[in-house]
Chains A and B, each alone.
Chain A
Amino acid sequence: MNKKIGYLIAFAIAVAAPFVGYPVFLSKLLCFALFACAFNLLIGFTGLLSFGHAAFFGMAGYFAGNALKNWGLPFELGLLVGVAAGALIGLLMGALAIRRQGIYFSMITLALAQMVYFGALRAGEFTGGEDGLQGVPRGRLLGMVDLSNDTTLYFVVLGICVLAFALIVRTVHSPFGQVLKAIKENEPRAISLGYDVDKYKLLAFVLSAALAALAGATKTVVLGFETLTDVHWTMSGLVILMTLVGGMGTLAGPMLGAIIIIALENKLGDWGTLLANVTGVEWFNTIGEAVNMVVGLIFIICVLSFRRGIIGEFIALAGKKKPV
């Protein structure tokens, strides 16, 4: 019951947000929130740590971007092309990586993602190299709704994210999701019960990749371009951080983690200036250059004392408060 109220309130805030905040930035937040949730499906619910999620996120952006800009496809088909591309890359990557466990699984995903990065770097015509793929048009939704208005686009993105999130929730609570949880907790037992764990893991991998791809493709349309930053391994690291900070294995955690981290990246300089103006301490002005240091500090604090992430800690706290 609590949960439903929580989701409704969150939804209400999301609907009201663009009238208070800045729509393009909020749309970008939503995309990253979706990316983190997609990633969490794999690590939080299946127990597989992928170091290569940027490959799906970024390449989907490139495919969608090209579809919209160069192949003249409409908005929905462009997104679909992006998702299909991400899912396909996920299928190939997953098929190879699933064969190994633990850290070796993770390293294979990293290695394959690096090769995808190399491909993106060299495919100058398709990706624009380090100049990026610029000038991706927004078009219209279903040929009717003009997306050039930032607020309209925000609501479309919100719609996409809500649907995707609903899919994730449905998946986690479905029988399929239960099997994934079983695999995460005790794989040998799941095997002994007769489940073809590899198929389940691969399916989870592809689903996670497809949703990450959706996030990447949508973000490309929102911002109008795609660059190599989104296929670089540091992007994979960033999504791990978002999930960790928010709470691995919780449903809402990654979203919160994404909001915090993206806000930090974009706003730290502004907050520093604000602090400097308020307190008169000149040093605060230079905080804006220290985003990496602050992120590093957050990593350290989270790992040492905040391992369950923000949402995870609150769930644990709430659990303790229940009357015995």
Chain B
Amino acid sequence: MKIKSITLAVAACASFSAHAQISGDTVKIGFITDMSGLYTDIDGAGGAEAIKMAIADAGGNLNGKKIEFISADHQNKADIAASKAREWFDQQGVDMLIGGTNSGANLAMAKVAAEKKKIFISIGAGSARLTNEECTPYTVHYAYDTIALARGTGGAIVKQGGKNWYFMTADYAFGQSLEKDTSDLVKSAGGKVLGSVKHPLSASDFSSFLLQAQASGAQILGLANAGGDAINSIKAANEFGVTKKMKLAGLLIFINDVHSLGLNLTQGMYLTDGWYWDANEDTRAWSKRYFAKMKKEPSMLQAADYSAAGNYLKAVKAVGSDDSDKVMAHLKANKINDMFAKNGVIRPDGRMVHDMYLMEVKKPSESKYPWDYYKVVATIPGDQAYATKAETKCSLWK
């Protein structure tokens, strides 16, 4: 009877056996993100599609080497993300890893990539630690981080006249750093922070917190939370009439969130985004292709997935090899110019710096076609949005 169990164990082990592959003949891109949990829509399978588009656009092969793509769902567990990353580097010959959502998973993957001396491009993580305390020579943080969101939103809104703020913050590191960075900026831009309240993550009811916000008399309600929390906050804000007296400033809102709420509830809300599908001809052209496959317009993250993969492949082609150090040097030496960013720069600390945009959500009457949600209020130049050299905690950039 024990024999049976052992047979099973052997069978199980056999499936884990090494597919030792030499990466010499292929350029292999790996993609690990959340495909089934909270962050499915803003990245997920759409991100994988975007990367496949980039590979197709590069012709499917580079100087004779075939380009391969492999993806996995980390289910929001850093354990799985790190194990998979490790396994892919050691056994699947992955040359470059793109990290999707979830900061904890990205931080773990970045460490693995640095250990294996492979390039890791983080797209979906918000944590600025990736280019500060945890920076490595192999990490690139591509689309956004909490500092850029905070500075974009904080400074630009104060300039628009929103001087008094109250924050509703999700009680975890991400929310807290969003609140702190935005507060700092609001104060330095001449505004005032009248108070804040921290709510537990995934709270289902925000009415009490909103009442406290309203009681403060501030003009702007800063939502230092994301995803479901942000959506429920906005729903409740409308319900309780908070939106009549205060303007909402969503510190991390994706177009999918606005889509699920509808313009009735989100009109007039401020938010910062790194990219918008309807911004110009280039973005529209690419988004049309994306829409044909996914039936939704892409978010900033999905566009960034495409851009990161595309630029990596361009660098490999230019350098003539997939050697991480050489490719990284090329990436840091050349600007990023594509439909995602104009004059984007990858700094020594790994931060990809590009312009951010302060958006205001359109009124239902102003929206002419599906997904026509935003008007661009201000462009925040990259070097103002992200942390500067003076502030950096990265030892590589001193």
Contacts and interface: CB of A to CB of B under 8 A. Distances in A.
Interface in B161-180: 171-174, 176
Interface stretch (A181-189, A190-198, A264-272): A264-272
Nearest to B77: A229
Contacts of A26: 16
A224 interface: yes
A79 B364 CA distance: 59
A247 B71 CA distance: 33
B322 interface: no
B73 A289 contact: yes
Interface residues of A, number: 57
Given A6-B2, A20-B17, A131-B104, A269 B73 contact: yes
B394 interface: no
A292 interface: yes
A323 interface: no
B118 interface: no
Contact of B111 (A121, A225, A288): A225
A2 B172 contact: no
Contact of A310 (B5, B16, B80, B82): B5
Contact of A311 (B5, B86, B173): B5
Contact of A271 (B15, B71, B134, B201): B15
A171 to B, nearest CB: 20
A22 B91 contact: yes
Contacts of A28: 79, 83
Contacts of B80: 265-266
A18 B84 CA distance: 16
B265 to A, nearest CB: 27
B173 A13 contact: no
A132 B104 contact: yes
A78 B234 CA distance: 46
A6 B5 contact: yes
A219 B77 CA distance: 14
Interface stretch (B6-14, B187-195, B297-305): B6-14
Given A10-B9, A256-B9, A229 B172 contact: no
B16 A5 contact: no
Nearest to B7: A9
Given A9-B6, A134-B108, A24 B77 contact: no
Nearest to B17: A20
A314 interface: yes
Contact of B129 (A24, A131, A317): A131
Chain B: number of interface residues, binned into ranges: 35 or more
Contacts of B87: 22, 24-25
B36 interface: yes
B183 interface: no
Interface in B53-109: 71-73, 75-80, 82-84, 86-87, 90-91, 103-104, 107-108
A266 B1 contact: no
A25 B299 CA distance: 34
B3 interface: yes
A130 B125 CA distance: 12
Interface in B3-43: 3-6, 8-10, 12-18, 35-36
Interface in A1-18: 2-3, 5-7, 9-10, 13, 17
B36 A291 contact: yes
A1 B189 CA distance: 79
Nearest to A234: B77
A129 interface: yes
A3 to B, nearest CB: 6
Interface in A254-294: 256, 259-260, 263, 265-267, 269-271, 286, 288-292
Interface string A151-162: 000000000000
A132 B18 contact: no
A225 B108 contact: yes
Given A228-B104, A289-B73, A314-B4, A24 B13 contact: no
Contacts of B129: 131
A228 B172 CA distance: 11
B45 interface: yes
Contacts of A2: 1-2
Nearest to A129: B173
Nearest to A16: B13
Contacts of B172: 121, 129-130
Contacts of B104: 130-132, 227-229
Q: Name the residue in B3, B35, B78, B84 with the highest tally of chain A Cβ atoms < 10 Å from its Cβ.
A: B78
15 contacts: A10-B9, A25-B83, A25-B87, A28-B83, A121-B171, A130-B104, A134-B107, A223-B82, A224-B111, A227-B78, A263-B16, A265-B77, A288-B35, A288-B72, A291-B75
Interface of A: 2-3, 5-7, 9-10, 13, 17, 20-22, 24-26, 28, 121-122, 124, 128-132, 134-135, 219, 223-225, 227-230, 252, 256, 259-260, 263, 265-267, 269-271, 286, 288-292, 310-311, 314-315, 317-318
Q: Which 8 A-B pairs have the closest CB atoms?
A: A6-B2, A129-B173, A318-B1, A21-B16, A132-B104, A289-B35, A227-B78, A314-B1
Given A9-B6, A21-B16, A121-B201, 13 more contacts: A21-B13, A122-B171, A128-B173, A129-B173, A132-B78, A223-B79, A223-B83, A227-B77, A227-B78, A229-B79, A265-B77, A266-B80, A289-B35
